[in-house]
């Protein structure tokens, strides 16, 4: 069973971005969105107005994102999976979403990075949060260009 990461969150976090589960590169590096072709950090770079965010050391990236009131987590706490594709996820154990209120009492919006994570939008929405399902930042999702994804990702701060 693969184990996910704890949330990147602060008391003043108002927006969370939830992925599905870390890919192999992320698990190996113990960092969210570590695959060099994943567009997550470049998308946030543009959305948050933080030029060069994707080039910073990982801890500095997290600090900058948190300074904008944005947190990062995944919908799954643990699962079995061969490779990095969401379609290969088996025996999934969801994270404890009820704990979001304790971690981030100001949380209002939960964004989902891709359709797999977005399957949890209704559950989170029923808890009183605004939800937004975004196109996946994964290199496996090439149906949209970076620019097309960015148009939708800008709604994070809207």
Give CA separation, 89 vs 17, 23, 121, in Å. 20, 11, 18
3 state DSSP class of 115: helix
Backbone φ and ψ of 80, nearest 5°: -100, 140
Would you name the residues annotated as active-site residues? 38
Half-sphere exposure of 74 (CA within 13 A, CB side): 22
Separation of alpha carbons 133 and 118, rounded Å:
5
Backbone φ and ψ of 150, nearest 5°: -60, -40
């Amino acid at each position: 069973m693969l184990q996910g990461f704890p949330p990147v969150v602060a008391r003043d976090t108002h927006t969370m971005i939830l992925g599905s589960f870390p890919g192999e590169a992320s698990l190996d590096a113990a960092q969210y969105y570590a695959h060099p072709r994943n567009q997550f950090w470049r998308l946030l770079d543009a959305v948050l107005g933080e030029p060069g965010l994707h080039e910073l050391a990982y801890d500095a990236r997290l600090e900058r994102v948190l300074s904008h009131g944005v947190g990062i987590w995944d919908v799954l706490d643990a699962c079995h999976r061969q490779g990095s594709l969401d379609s290969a996820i088996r025996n999934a154990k969801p994270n404890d979403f009820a704990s979001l209120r304790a971690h981030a009492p100001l949380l209002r919006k939960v964004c989902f990075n891709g359709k797999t994570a977005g399957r949890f939008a209704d559950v989170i929405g029923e808890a009183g949060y605004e939800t937004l399902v975004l196109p996946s930042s994964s290199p496996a999702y090439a149906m949209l260009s970076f620019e097309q994804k960015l148009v939708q990702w800008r709604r994070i701060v809207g």
